Amino acid sequence: MPADYHTHTPLCRHAEGEPEQYIAAALAAGVTEYGISDHAPARPEPFDDWRMLESELPAYFEWIERARAVAGTMPVRAGMECDWLTGCEGWIEELAGRYPWDYLIGSVHYLGVWDFDNPKWLGRWAETDVEAVWGSYWETYAEMAKSQLFDILGHPDLIKKFSHRPEGDLARFYEPVIEVIAGSGCAIELNTAGWHKPCAEAYPHPQFLELACRAGVPLVISSDAHAPGEVARDFEKAIGWARSAGYSETQLFEKRARRAVGL
């Protein structure tokens, strides 16, 4: 079973469970490696109500060590999911030096001050030009890829979470950003959490996956687990999606170095 690198802890305020429970779930699922990548602090604080504070980083490092203590021979990798925000580059670079990370995930959850995937603001979609929002999202995603601050780019088409999509062939959004991602050297993730959201579809769409594979973009498969029972959820289905798109391998990370392994 592929590694599961996108998982959370209760420090983000919307996950549950103890490290021992997550590791037990990972061992039962038979994943190659287990990675912890909770929502990184963001400045200025308090930034929002769904991430750890900078003062909680020591507790996060302790969580990682607790997980490693019960994992046996299964490698436990250390990561963070970092939000791409206006002017965040210096802070991401500072965070990168705070711990011997194995990888950093970059994600776009915000367009300006709107965390568009937050159910709290669901009503805003009714007042939104979906075509324009999609354009802004993918421009922001491309900027994140160009920064080369991250090893993995998270849930590429998260913008579809609540099933708001423009009309027509969406390749017009996908192709330009995939070209940028391919040039950045970053991997993307096939994130299974989307199957359990209103869009009822993993992130990203199969068309995006196929185009990314043709462009030589590396892939990891992730659960985005916020509870032990979600670790490696739907991985068999995701492997089928990946293979259908043309992928024959995924990636493993250690100390921010990547190596390919067969699916």
* CATH code, domain carrying 169: 3.20.20.140
Amino acid 80: pLDDT: 98
Residue 65 within a domain = no
Amino acid 186: pLDDT: 98
Amino acid 24: pLDDT: 98
The reported pTM is 0.98
Q: How far apart are CA 3 and CA 222, in angstroms?
A: 8
Residue 19 within a domain = no
Q: With helix as H, strand as E and coil as C, how does 36-102 read?
A: ECCECCCCCCCCCCCCCCHHHHHHHHHHHHHHHHCCCCCCEEEEEEEECCCCCHHHHHHHHCCCCCC
Residue 15 within a domain = no
Residue 21 within a domain = no
Amino acid 178: pLDDT: 98
Residue 213 within a domain = yes
Amino acid 234: pLDDT: 98
Planar angle of CA 3, 38, 121, nearest 5 degrees: 120
Range of the domain at 250: 73-219+229-262
Amino acid 199: pLDDT: 98
Residue 174 within a domain = yes
Domain count, the chain: 1
**Prior bond of 156 cis (ω within 30°):** no
Residues (pLDDT < 50) of the chain are none
Amino acid 252: pLDDT: 98
Residue 246 within a domain = yes
Residue 54 within a domain = no
